[in-house]
């Protein structure tokens, strides 16, 4: 049996240069108002594309999505699971309450999200105001999940080669943190029939500043020979349906939303949902769900 000491991950100083969106840019978006987001998200407060297979309501579809990632990551009944970009904690809660996970660790760069989850005072949930690049776990994880955060892991100034480098740093970290045989379940928006040159300036400046979307090839290249890709799904039409549900909820609660964040912000979110719906429907954007398995003995020096 491994002792806690043998199990401990070497606490190496963090030398990598993080190249994703800044904490300030993340807080600009996610710290707008927890109450505002609650008005149009489902009751789990999931802020990412749902999984509408055999689901009628947004909440059912979000729970399907959470369960899909938990299963793909092999996180059921695990000891120690990491959620990178945990939002308002939907999967952390599900892991410990429904899947008997002993400890769920969530990382977010949003102060408002950390405050929100901290109010639960759940002894098995550890939420940290910390980017993945600063994270230094004491013991290895059984599974890693990351939903809707990878979109922020490269900033807009990077070339494609630099993006691959930034993503490679991320996958190297996940490789170090996972136990042998460990898995990542990753969900991210990607460019498909579009690229940086087609970026909608309203979205990139007013809604998600400092964040550049990945291309599938960049993700694949970055993970190559340290993770094998098991399953890849493209669920872009499910994002159209998710956005439509968010828009409907926002419109149904418009007066209250205006009281919370003002008319200009509400109109900006309506516009953002509309543009994103067109992006996914046209295939300019795709929604990738990627199941990755750790390659335990990479046949080269992975750094
Ligand atoms: C769209 S939200 C998704 C939240 C949640 N996974 C969900 O599906 O509801 C993106 C999340 O990524 C987090 N994030 C962005 N950049 C990050 C980074 N470098 N490290 C950790 N989390 C990050 C944000 O703070 C936010 O919680």
Domain membership of residue 217 (yes or no) is yes
pLDDT tens digits, 16-35: 789 999 999 999 999 999 99
Residue 62 to residue 49: CA distance in whole angstroms: 8
Residue 226 to residue 25: CA distance in whole angstroms: 30
| Residue 84 CA to ligand 1 centre (angstroms) | 7
| Residue 224 CA to ligand 1 centre (angstroms) | 24
Number of domains in the chain: 1
Predicted confidence at residue 302, as pLDDT, reads 53
Domain membership of residue 301 (yes or no) is no
Domain membership of residue 24 (yes or no) is no
Predicted confidence at residue 200, as pLDDT, reads 86
Domain membership of residue 10 (yes or no) is no
Domain membership of residue 121 (yes or no) is yes
- Copy the structure tokens of residue 167: 């993503």
Looking at ligand 1, which atom is closest to the CA of residue 90? 9
Predicted confidence at residue 6, as pLDDT, reads 34
Domain that holds residue 61: 29-292
Predicted confidence at residue 250, as pLDDT, reads 98
| Residue 108 CA to ligand 1 centre (angstroms) | 5
Mean pLDDT of the chain: 94
Residue nearest to atom 13 of ligand 1 (CA): 85
Domain membership of residue 66 (yes or no) is yes
Give yes or no for a contact between 170 and 264, defined as CB atoms under 8 angstroms apart: no
CATH number at residue 158: 3.40.50.150
Predicted confidence at residue 115, as pLDDT, reads 98
Q: Which of 97, 60, 65 is nearest to 81 (CA)?
A: 97
pLDDT tens digits, 272-296: 999 999 999 999 999 999 999 999 9
Residue 274 to residue 243: CA distance in whole angstroms: 8
Residues of the chain below pLDDT 70 = 1-15, 301-303
Best probe residue, ligand 1, of 132, 152, 211 (max atoms within 8 Å of C-beta): 152
Give yes or no for a contact between 214 and 188, defined as CB atoms under 8 angstroms apart: yes
Predicted confidence at residue 149, as pLDDT, reads 98
Residue nearest to atom 14 of ligand 1 (CA): 85
| Residue 218 CA to ligand 1 centre (angstroms) | 20
pLDDT tens digits, 168-177: 999 999 999 9
Distances (CA, A) of 131 to 38, 127, 150, 173, 226: 24, 11, 12, 12, 21
Domain membership of residue 161 (yes or no) is yes
DSSP, res 31: T
Helix (H, G, I), strand (E, B) or coil at 45: coil
Domain membership of residue 136 (yes or no) is yes
Residue nearest to atom 20 of ligand 1 (CA): 131
DSSP, res 206: I
Predicted confidence at residue 303, as pLDDT, reads 53
For residue 53, count other CB atoms closer than 10 A to its CB. Answer: 12
- Copy the structure tokens of residue 150: 């990878």
Asked if residue 211 has its Cβ within 6 Å of ligand 1, the reply is: no
Lateral strand order in the sheet of 141-147: 125-129, 103-108, 80-84, 141-147, 178-191, 285-294, 227-234
């Amino acid at each position: 049996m491994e002792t806690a000491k043998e199990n401990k991950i070497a606490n190496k100083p963090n030398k990598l240069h993080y190249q994703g969106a800044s904490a300030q840019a993340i807080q600009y978006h996610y710290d707008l108002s927890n109450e505002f987001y609650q008005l149009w998200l489902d009751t789990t407060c999931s802020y990412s594309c749902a999984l509408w297979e055999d689901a009628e309501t947004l909440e059912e579809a979000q729970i399907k999505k959470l369960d899909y990632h938990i299963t793909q990551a092999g996180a059921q009944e695990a000891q120690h699971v990491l959620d990178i970009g945990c939002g308002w904690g939907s999967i952390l809660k599900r892991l410990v309450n429904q899947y008997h996970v002993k400890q769920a660790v969530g990382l977010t760069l949003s102060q408002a999200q950390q405050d929100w989850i901290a109010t639960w005072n759940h002894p098995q949930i550890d939420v940290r105001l910390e980017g993945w690049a600063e994270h230094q776990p004491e013991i290895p994880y059984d599974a890693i999940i990351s939903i809707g955060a990878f979109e922020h892991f490269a900033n807009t100034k990077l070339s494609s080669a630099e993006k691959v480098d930034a993503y490679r740093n991320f996958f190297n970290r996940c490789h170090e943190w996972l136990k042998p045989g460990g898995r990542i379940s990753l969900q991210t928006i990607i460019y498909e029939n579009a690229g940086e040159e087609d970026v909608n300036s309203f979205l990139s400046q007013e809604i998600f500043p400092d964040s550049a979307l990945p291309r599938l090839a960049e993700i694949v290249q970055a993970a190559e020979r340290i993770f094998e890709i098991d399953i890849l799904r493209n669920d872009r039409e499910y994002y159209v349906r998710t956005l439509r549900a968010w828009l409907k909820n926002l419109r149904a609660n418009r007066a209250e939303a205006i009281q919370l964040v003002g008319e200009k912000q509400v109109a900006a979110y309506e516009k953002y949902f509309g543009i994103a719906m067109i992006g996914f429907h046209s295939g300019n954007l795709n929604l990738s769900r990627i199941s990755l398995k750790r390659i335990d003995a990479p046949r080269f020096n992975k750094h």
